[in-house]
Structure 1
Amino acid sequence: MISKLKYEYLLFLIALVWVLFFSSVIQLQAGFSSWGDDSTYLYAAKVLYFNGVLDDSRPMFISAVIGLPFLFGFSTAFVIQWGIIVNFICWLATVLLVFKIIAERWNRQKAFVFAIAFILCIGNLAVAFHLIAEALFVFLLVLIFYLMHKFIQTGSYSFLTLAIAFSFLILLVKPMPLGLVILLLLYHSKKAKKVFTNKYAVVILVSVSMLFFHMYSLKKKYGDFTISYIGSYTYYNYLGARADCLKDGIAYIPGENPRTKHFISLSSHEMKTLATWDLKNQLLNNKVNLLKAYATNLYLNSSKGNSIVYATENQDKTMCFSLFHVLFKAISKLQNIVFTMVGLALAFYCLVKRKQQDVFRLMLSGFIIYVFLISGISSNEGDRFHLAFYPALLILMADFYKNRILKTVS
């Protein structure tokens, strides 16, 4: 029998060996990528620390975390290294949180197996090698799940208070879960008094203050009281542009159509205004093509592998590169397809049979469906959107498997 602490140590050792093996066989180097979104996160960190200005697309908290070494006079090269270290810490912490949640809801042996399954999720590991927000974002998501699990398990409002606080904070990493945060607040609105009268209430006040300060700063500099302008940019250049191309009968090439070239010449406020007008116009006059574009985006984001793995090259001319490159591309693609299909199936089943499910399972199910549906606003992302629900699905699968076993025994 493995002792309590040894599972965590073993997971750490397995994770370390896997990272070293994974990176070496496909020559995936941790660091700055010139072709991805790395430059936008680095730029946001620079303008925050050197100019005291918030970026219009990358929120304050992720910029502050990545650029923290700038505060102490370190170089850009050190900041990039720091950002990658933060990513790997977040990835490993997510592994341990997945293990902890399943262990407390079932047992440590089964939790160990599901934690290994998360370690082997190609996309979740690959994004940690680049200076982007996904690793921190997924960690905060799973941390919120853990806190909600503890609230349901113990009834302690301290856990709910912290979950709400981190829900506000995560919007300053990526604004994508805004709809879920609103639903969380509405669902627990009757508990407001107990939430704000425990010792952790100050954490909510800090996170809310940060969020409103961020939105006020964007209003003052760019013209809109918003978390980020990234949603406007993403809709207009991906979903909206694809629908427009379908209407005109021309090929959709991301970033290459005339409307995109015009769009990037506008101010942030003008972009948001135009994107809002375009969405209303297409809903009124081009709704069929908008739906086709949306369905196409959903399909593409559910059927492709990880772009970071795809982009690796055999610079060292090793014999094993081609084998593992093809293998890991195929696995990341297969994981995206299978996780999406299984995730949607389990989530919809859980919601249909909601009277037989606990609140935690319903929360995970709603999250999986939400991420899937909102991914349709973008396109050609590979597995990048869906990575967010991989750990949620593993936790949900563990719960369903546990219940099936209990029913069989009884």
Structure 2
Amino acid sequence: MSLQGVMHSDSFNYQESAKNLYIFHKGHIYRPILMALINGIPYLFGSSDAFIFAFGFYINIFCWLASSLLLFAILKDFIRPKVAFYFTVLSLFIVGNTAHVFHLLTETIYIFMIMLSFYFLLQYYKTQQFLWLSFSVSVLLLTMLIKPGSKFLAIVFLLYFVKIIFKNYKAKSMWFLYGSFFLILVQCSGMKYQFGDFTISYIDAPTYYGYIGSKAKCIEYGKEYRQLNNPRADYIFSSEPSRQKEIASEDFKDQLQFNTTNLIKAYVLDVLDNTVSGNSCIEECKNLRSVDQNFFDISKRFLFDTTKWQNRLFTLLAVFLSAYFLFKYYKRERLYFFTAFFITYIIVLSGISCGQGDRFHLVTFPFVILLLGKFLSDSNWFKPFSEPLQK
């Protein structure tokens, strides 16, 4: 993977956003500031553009391993450490997540931040100390500066704890929350100053218009949807930022009113596509070491097929486990309720786009393993490691 030299199309946007921030001192139309802050650090030392991609690997490998440690720490709170270890090792065999470590993309960092937030939430429920809740909410708020699509998840999370937060607004630990709010304000204010709208990112407009919106129109006129050479995508990307929002908003209102059935069909097809597809990073690999071609082809096909079936299996588990924990845990042990809510949120949100392989759903897979461990523990398959969390 490290020899491929194949850059995901979105990776160039992330490198560009980092360069904009550190070299040109400006924002990026689609990629928020925190991702740029993290991956652009080498620019402070005069590094080249190419090294940013290499540096991204080291950031990803840290987040990949740290996420596993956090998963283990949460798991062993309710099952024996040895069993928790086996579940954690299982998460390391999620091939799609491993493949993403080699690309300058958000998924690996995003998984780490969500897992870190849930780990802090676990500490809060165990100790009832506001410091841990401040950590948890702060990190979750910052995830919207990694993946803008996380903003509604962060808002729901914030609103749920808003009473507790208001009660502790004078606490020293509130400074972590104030810091998160400040960075979000900087992002939105910068976008307002540079592009004209007080927003996290403009990525939602072309994503809707070029994917689900385009597919709904193709279904309406009996045409085959194509991600490449898509006139609608070319049109919206060529428009000014504020105009992009207007175009997408007007199109959504029009299709919701006059093309509702096809819009729903497009959404369902997108979710299905995101459920059954394999990992594009593996699919693009070439035989650069000139090993036996048959062996390479067989290995590549095996790994790619593994990502397809892992996507299908974990997504299926995600649906059933999320439903179980959403209905059973909304009044108790809410860490698992929030985990289920996060998984559901990601799968539901994935319907706005397609053609990305397993990229959308794979961020939920480590959390599916967490819920699977909890479900088996509830079913008395394993001896619980500790008492249940405080309600």
TM-score by length of 1: 0.89
Aligned-pair identity (%): 31
* 1:270-329 per-position Cα deviation (integer Å, ceiling 9, x unaligned): 111111111111100101000000000000000011110111112223233222211111
Q: 1:159 to 1:277 in 2, by over 3 A?
A: same
Q: 1:326 to 1:381 in 2, by over 3 A?
A: same
Give the structure 2 partner of residue 345 of structure 1.
Answer: 320
Residues 5-404 of structure 1 correspond to what in structure 2 (within 5 A)?
28-29=1-2, 33-319=6-292, 320-354=295-329, 358-404=333-379
Q: Which secondary structure does the structure 2 equivalent of 1:299 belong to?
A: helix
Q: 1:406 to 1:302 in 2, by over 3 A?
A: closer
- Higher RCO (CA 8 Å, separation ≥ 6 residues): 2
Residue 77 (structure 1) shift: 2.6
Write the distance in 2 (CA, Å) between the matches of 1:56 and 1:46: 13
* 1:303-358 per-position Cα deviation (integer Å, ceiling 9, x unaligned): 01111011111222323322221111111111100000011011112223346752
What amino acid is aligned across from residue 394 of structure 1 in structure 2?
I
Write the distance in 2 (CA, Å) between the matches of 1:51 and 1:166: 27
Write the distance in 2 (CA, Å) between the matches of 1:136 and 1:194: 31
Q: 1:112 to 1:215 in 2, by over 3 A?
A: same
What amino acid is aligned across from residue 48 of structure 1 in structure 2?
L
Residue 194 (structure 1) shift: 4.3
Give the structure 2 partner of residue 19 of structure 1.
Answer: none
* 1:75-116 per-position Cα deviation (integer Å, ceiling 9, x unaligned): 223222211110111111111111111012322111101110
Write the distance in 1 (CA, Å) between the matches of 2:235 and 2:205: 14
Write the distance in 1 (CA, Å) between the matches of 2:71 and 2:182: 30
Q: 1:85 to 1:35 in 2, by over 3 A?
A: closer
Q: 1:127 to 1:195 in 2, by over 3 A?
A: farther
Contact 1:151 1:157 in 2 (8 A): yes
Gaps of 5+ in 2: 385-391
Q: Which secondary structure does the structure 2 equivalent of 1:177 belong to?
A: helix
Residue 209 (structure 1) shift: 0.4
Contact 1:157 1:194 in 2 (8 A): no
Write the distance in 1 (CA, Å) between the matches of 2:356 and 2:382: 40
* 1:27-78 per-position Cα deviation (integer Å, ceiling 9, x unaligned): x126753452111111111111111110010100101111111112222232
Gaps of 5+ in 1: 1-27
Contact 2:131 2:173 in 1 (8 A): yes
User: More deviation in 148-157 or 55-64?
Assistant: 148-157
Residue 141 (structure 1) shift: 0.8
Write the distance in 2 (CA, Å) between the matches of 1:29 and 1:36: 17
> How many equivalent residue pairs?
382
